[in-house]
Amino acid sequence: MANGIPATNWASSELQSIVPTDKLNAVTQLVQRSSESSLEWYRRFNRATESASAGADIENKSSHGFDPVTEADRAVESKIREGLGELFPDHSILGEEFGTTGTSSVQWIIDPIDGTRAFITGQPMWGTIVAVTSNGTPLGGWMHVPTLDETYVGSEQTWWSDNTGIRQIETASTTSLSDAVLLCTHPSMFAPGPEAESFARLVQSVKMTRYSGDCVNYGLLAMGLADLVVENMLAPYDIVPLLPIIEGAGGVVTDLDGQPPLNGGYVVAAATPELHASAVRLLSA
């Protein structure tokens, strides 16, 4: 398991005024442990039968298209919900698999496996992401990538750890589209017509584009290994936990109207304000 990252290294005073430092450290450990438990199911799926001897069943949540959910998704969210309930019995929780409980203005948001399609096909780019919000404003974010044994935490700063140690991370200084590396999980996120055409223009304008990645893309942006992440059709739990990680590293993330993407939808995340403005301008043309 990746090393713990003391909250005093990264958490803002506003966050620590709502969630005590010792409990923030406990949340980091909870996210790590719960996320690591998903490896019990990893690469145990049989695509021909959509099941495996370990009981790793795949279900389709959607009546139109394919939106997979697995036993692992539910188990990880249950572990996090139980742990958060013990730490913060008065807080509310929103999770992808089990919806909303509680009415507190302090809310925890959970995506137990962001990248379930990658998970069920044995690819390593998926993770567990968690946020804490106050009156709808994200104050802290966590991401653990169990296949890489990496943890990201973000608030006032963003820190990263693996089994070799911990360090603060920052976005790159790229300001020009022609120098930028763009990440996106899949181009089918953009509807045929003007939306897909605008994204294609962005792809033609940057130095390099890579697909796949899900939540890990945003960690790579925060680490300075990529410059842009542009995606669409996201749910709140897909992006809200990642906002403090990106912004704590110095990045900018909004929707196409320049607003925080608290409801998901279209997301433009960039290493610098200049690069973000150029990307939004091109995508909105």
Give 122-174 pLDDT, tens digit per residue.
Answer: 999 999 999 999 999 999 999 999 999 999 999 999 999 999 999 999 999 99
CATH code matching the domain that covers 177-284, chosen among 3.90.1530.10, 3.30.360.10, 3.40.190.80, 3.40.50.300: 3.40.190.80
Q: Is 244 exposed, middle or buried (0-12, 13-18, 19+ CB in 10 A)?
A: buried
pLDDT tens string 18-62? 999 999 999 999 999 999 999 999 998 765 554 444 445 777 766
Structure tokens at 203: 């792809």
Q: How far apart are CA 245 and CA 240, in angstroms?
A: 10
CATH architecture of 7-163: 2-Layer Sandwich (3.30)
Model's pTM, two decimal places? Answer: 0.94
pLDDT in tens, 86-127: 999 999 999 999 999 999 999 999 999 999 999 999 999 999
Q: So where are the chain's domains?
A: 7-163, 177-284
Token pair for residue 161?
Answer: 């750890």
Amino acid, res. 126: W
Cα–Cα nearest to 40, from 146, 127, 145, 129: 146
Question: Is 2 exposed, middle or buried, given 0-12, 13-18 or 19+ CB atoms closer than 10 A?
Answer: buried
